[in-house]
Chain A
Amino acid sequence: MLEANDLTKRYDQHLALDRLNLKVAPGEIFCLLGGNGAGKTTTINLFLNFIQPTSGTATVNGIDVAARPLEAKRQIAYIPETVMLYGSLSGIENLEYFSKLALGVKRPRAELLDLLVQAGLAPDAAPRRVEGYSKGMRQKVGIAIAMARNARALLLDEPTSGLDPQAANEFARLLEQMKHRGVAILMTTHDLFLAKQTGTRVGIMQRGVLAAMFGTDTVDHTELERIYLDLSYGKKAA
């Protein structure tokens, strides 16, 4: 569903992403790990066509993102590290707006409210203006937006950053449900626990290169942490 073929991004002398080859199948959660500047967000940005690849291709369901961005975006939902919404609109109005832009139809308020509740937002918070929301509450609206899109692929950029443990746990459960529905999920994260818990496969990036890739069922938590620290920072795990 999500595929990178020799995907490369260079900024002048800086190689942000070097010949990334990656496939995320339907019903798979692929976790991209790596330190800051490893190329994780660059990968997400390339799949979203926010930046143009220097060479190589990123495809979604066989559609080249750079060549046919609108068609490709129709297949993708995206949750950034911090879901940013319109403060003067309520949670449900934000969801209504983004889902209408994405789906082309106005969904009934009851349906939207149900999505917000599914994403973990308290029903009484839905009609309140987002300017009063916590980061976690905004993240839940972002999740509801992604769910409303009913997309075939989901791109997540550090989605649990700043969420409390309970919200992160709820989020992991939602990811599991999406996986079972056949959604291909590509998630960048620093959260090794989340990667091990929800991921099907893990890739560790280092200076723009996918340095390692393996199934989460082949390593335990300690081993995953050791490999991650080794590749990311050149240190041995304690």
Chain B
Amino acid sequence: MSAITETAAPVPALPPAGMVATIAGKEFTELLRDARLKWAGGLIAVLMLTALLLGWQQQQQLDRERAAASHTSYQQWLGQGEKNPHSAAHYGQYAFKPASPLSFLDPGINPYVGSAVWMEAHKQNEFRFRPARDATSLRRFGDLSINFVWQVLSPLLIVLITFNAFTGERERGTLRQLLSVGVQPAQLLVGKMTAISALLAILLVPPMLMAMAMLFFVDEHHVDSLDILGRSGLMFIGYAVYLAGFALLSLGVSAACGSSRKALIVLLAFWVLNCFVAPRAITDVAARLAPTPSAVQFQSALTQAKKANFGHDEKHPAFIAFRDSVLARYGVSRVEDLPVNFRALSLNEDDERGYRIYDEHYGRLWAIYLEQERIRSLAGVLFPMAALQPWSMAMAGTDIAQQNDFATAAERYRREIQKAMAADMIRNRPNDGSDYVAGPELWASIAPFEYRLPQAASVLGNQWRNLLLLLVWAAMIGGFALTVVRRLRPT
């Protein structure tokens, strides 16, 4: 055996950043060689790719079908031939909600709410064609989207590869070795977190880049490219905070627990609570605190309120009162002497009164939904899924707020049709009881319905609280991890 190196000398300290980089490098090498990561990570990669491609293909197909249906509906509107404008208003059109470009990343509430609404006279209809209702129960198992992989499977992968990050060091005895060379526990935490962050980047960045590439190869998105980029970036930030928080939690629990087994049990329990139990329980709590009326109750209340309107009933007291007020306004005593068409005026008035009733009832319902959302989000401080889900759906354009935005746009369009038809009748229809018909030029004066998603900035304006909650949760978890790691002892 040859001689040992020359005289002992004081050892220079590795700067903290260098220490962290060295730890991170070694941790990453270990992760890459970890069989658990190879199998679980491989499976998740396959699932992500499948979800991405299938989701994209389904969304493209749906978009094409909706565009075709929308075009057909408008052509049917144009091809009505000559008829009374009020009949045309009753004939109406269908409005189809275009698929949001990022909905293939997170379909959100799309499968549970309708995608089309029939816009007819006098009535604000509900949405139809709910994929979840139309699908067979087996189909639901096949609905794999990338948001599920990111929200549910990725945290599980993080737990499985990090639950023994510190307990393993202690159980193996390497912690003694590390601490004896002057590594500080906090540096160990940051080094391990850096390595896991690289893994998280692998989980998040390639699918997001693939999604971007897919989107930019298609021309029409109902939003501009910058907006897609903004939405994707914001969605990415939300997932990055969520997964980083999970990694910190896993590291913290691993440092706090006496054994790997205990750490795994604690982390799996939290994963189940966060991903499966809490979302349902929180929704139930929100529904109890801010109850929504059932569909039957809502429709019944609406019908009741609409009884105050006269509709086509010429004996209704409201009709008589309106007729008298119109006659008085024009200084005549008979409808036949009015310079404008009274029938059209009365229908228009009935619509206007109906709008107020619809706005009041739907507005009240919307306020309850918002309150439920607010309550659900608050739970995000403890269970990040509660804040992440609405954030992700909002950025994908598939949340309830953007469904409501589309419903509002469709209703606005319906009212424009009603107003245009009524205005034409008021101007042109005689009061002598003879029938009046309008031609295709009137139908063509109504532009086709077009809908554009709200801008990312406005979505962010409504959603900043969820990102803040995620950040607060992650910061709390980071504080917890740092506190327990600082108390780390090798024995």
Residues of chain A at the chain B interface (Cβ within 8 Å): 45, 48, 50-51, 69-70, 73-78, 80, 82-89, 93, 97-98, 100-105, 114, 117-118, 120, 142, 145, 147, 149-152, 170, 173-174, 177-178, 181-183
Chain B interface extent, by class:
35 or more
B179 x A178 contact (CB < 8 A)? no
Residues of B within 8 A of A150 (CB): 5, 8-9, 11
Of A70, A88, A152, A183, which is within 8 A of B13 by CB?
A70
Please determine whether A152 and B22 come into contact, CB atoms closer than 8 angstroms.
Answer: no
Q: Is B6 an interface residue (CB 8 A)?
A: yes
B-side interface residues toward A, CB under 8 Å?
A: 1-15, 18-19, 22-23, 26, 29-30, 33-34, 172-174, 176-184, 489-491
Q: Is the CB–CB distance between B174 and A74 below 8 Å?
A: no
* Neighbouring B residues of A50 by C-beta, 8 Å: 176, 179, 489-491
Which residues of A lie under 8 Å from residue B173 when comparing CB positions? 80, 82-84
- Pair B18/A104 contact, Cβ less than 8 Å: yes
Measured between beta carbons, the chain A residues less than 8 angstroms from B4 are 118, 147, 174, 177-178, 181
The 5 A-B pairs with the shortest beta carbon distances in the complex, nearest first, are: A84-B173, A104-B14, A78-B180, A102-B181, A73-B182
Check if B5 sits within 8 Å of A147, measured CB to CB.
yes
Q: Which residue of A lies closest to B175 (CB)?
A: A84
Q: Are B184 and A86 in contact (CB under 8 A)?
A: no
| Interchain CB contact under 8 A, B5 and A101 | no
CA distance A178 to B3 in the complex (A): 9
Q: Are A182 and B172 in contact (CB under 8 A)?
A: no
Q: Is the CB of B491 within 8 A of A45?
A: yes
Query: A-B contact count, CB below 8 Å?
Result: 121
B interface, by DSSP: helix, strand, loop or mixed?
loop
Chain B proximity of A15: nearest CB distance (Å): 18
> In the complex, are the beta carbons of B10 and A74 less than 8 A apart?
yes
Contact of A85 among B10, B22, B174 (CB under 8 A): B174
- Residues A88 and B34 in contact, CB atoms below 8 Å apart: yes
| Distance in angstroms between the alpha carbons of A83 and B174 in the assembled complex | 8
On chain B, the residues within 8 Å of A120 by CB distance are: 1
A149 to B448, CA, bound (A): 78
Q: Least Cβ distance of A221 to chain B in Å?
A: 25
Kindly state the separation between the CA atoms of A11 and B491 in the bound complex, as whole angstroms. 14
Q: What distance in Å separates the Cβ of B290 from its nearest Cβ neighbour in chain A?
A: 52
Closest chain-A Cβ to B1's Cβ sits at a distance in Å of 6
B14 cross-chain contacts in A, Cβ below 8 A: 100-104
B30 touches A151 (CB 8 A): no
B3 engages A76 (CB within 8 Å): no
> A78–B181 Cα gap in the complex (Å)?
8
Of all chain A residues, which has the CB nearest B12?
Answer: A104
Q: Decide: B8 and A151 in contact? CB cutoff 8 A.
A: yes
Measured CA separation A87–B164 after assembly (Å): 14
Q: Are B1 and A173 in contact (CB under 8 A)?
A: yes
Instruction: List the A side residues contacting B12 at CB < 8 Å.
Output: 74, 103-105
Whether A89 lies near B181 (C-beta < 8 A) is no
A93 proximity list for chain B (CB < 8 A) = 26, 29
Does A101 lie within 8 Å of B176, measured CB to CB? no
- Given contacts A70-B184, A86-B30, A89-B30, whether A181 and B22 have CB atoms under 8 Å apart is no
Q: Assuming A74-B13, A104-B15, A178-B4, what are 18 further A-B pairs, CB within 8 angstroms?
A: A45-B491, A48-B180, A50-B179, A50-B491, A74-B11, A78-B177, A83-B177, A84-B177, A86-B26, A93-B26, A93-B29, A101-B23, A101-B181, A104-B11, A118-B1, A120-B1, A174-B4, A177-B4
Bound form: Cα–Cα A50–B177 in Å: 11
Give the distance in Å from the alpha carbon of A86 to the alpha carbon of B195 in the complex.
Answer: 16
Taken together as a complex, chains A and B put the C-alpha atoms of A48 and B489 apart, in Å, by 11
